[in-house]
Amino acid sequence: MFGLLEFTLLIGAGSFLAGLLGSLTGLGGGVIIVPLLTLVFHVDIRYAIGASLVSVIATSSGAAAAYLKEGYSNIRVGMFLEVATTIGALCGAFLATRIPTAAIAIVFGVVLLYSAWTSIRPEAEVPIHERTDLIALRLKLDGTYPADGKLVRYHVHRVPLGFGLMYVAGTLSGLLGIGSGAVKVLAMDRAMSIPFKVSTTTSNFMIGVTAAASAGIYLHRGYIDPGLAMPVMLGVLVGASLGARILPGATVGALRLVFGVAIAAVAAEMIFKGLSGRI
């Protein structure tokens, strides 16, 4: 058994790595925090989710400011899509208090497998559309991002599809205590044709608002323990801030591969323990 100090330091160190990897991959640190707390430290999954939601807010706070300053994040897109993710997060948090922990673990494992696949697969080229999306045009969602010393302009497409996927992402966030960055990046990069780095950085900006919406319900239910949430939050905040500094000049292919393999292994463990009723 760990003493209180050792327990706190180990959780802080693990949270630092979670924040760093979550920031670099755009998936959010929650995909590591919840399995770390439940499988390694044997924390009840609902308290792990509560601490993870706090850490997701810290991840967003640590990374979003740096990405915004560098000109990557699209704030108009993020604020518009947050309407869908916030509604979804409230629905997910409501469901989480009424679903057995074993079922939550199985769902979490499935989402982890999807996150691992998203992390490992090659990045697809952004499709080129000749026609401008009328909704994006009216809401002024198009933007620019820095690349090779100049600003590259891009157009946003298929806004309704992206909005619907964001509701799914918000529901997963509230249910599982993750930033659901994989779904957010999928919605923006693949569905809405937003460049990958813009999708990743805008996802980091959005996950904090999504998590805050559902964290209030967990706090009301008593599933946020300050003694657990504090080292998780501090570790993730430092890791996410470092990741934000590394990302613009980093080649993260090898990191994505290692991350994806590790997450797939954790997913299998979560699903097994959920099916066997040991969590």
Summarize pLDDT for 63-102 with one digit per residue, the tens.
Answer: 677 777 778 889 899 899 999 998 998 898 888 878 887 8
Assign 3-state DSSP to the chain and report helix, strand, coil percentages, each to 5: 75, 5, 20
Whole-number pLDDT of residue 240: 77
Whole-number pLDDT of residue 47: 92
Whole-number pLDDT of residue 254: 65
Whole-number pLDDT of residue 131: 56
Instruction: Let me know: does 162 contact 83? Beta carbons within 8 Å.
Output: no
Neighbours of 277 (CB within 10 A): 10
Q: What is the C-alpha separation between 141 and 136, in angstroms, rounded?
A: 5
Neighbours of 16 (CB within 10 A): 21
DSSP 141: -
Q: What is the C-alpha separation between 17 and 190, in angstroms, rounded?
A: 27
SS3 at position 144: strand
Whole-number pLDDT of residue 191: 83
pLDDT along the chain (279 residues), means of 10: 80 88 68 84 88 80 71 88 90 84 84 76 53 81 85 89 90 76 77 83 80 83 90 87 72 65 77 79
Q: Nearest Cα to 266, choosing from 37, 1, 77, 13?
A: 37
Identity of the amino acid at 274: G
SS3 at position 74: coil
**86 to each of 12, 58, 233, 249, how far by Cα in Å?**
28, 17, 21, 32
Could you list the residue range(s) of the whole structural domain that residue 182 is in?
4-275
Whole-number pLDDT of residue 80: 93
φ/ψ of residue 213, rounded to 5 = -65, -40
Measured over the CA atoms of residue 191, residue 53, residue 8 and residue 267, the dihedral's sign is negative
Single pTM value for the model: 0.71
Structure tokens at 31: 């995909």
Instruction: Let me know: does 93 contact 223? Beta carbons within 8 Å.
Output: no
Whole-number pLDDT of residue 126: 47
Structure tokens at 262: 């590790």
Q: How many structural domains does the chain have?
A: 1
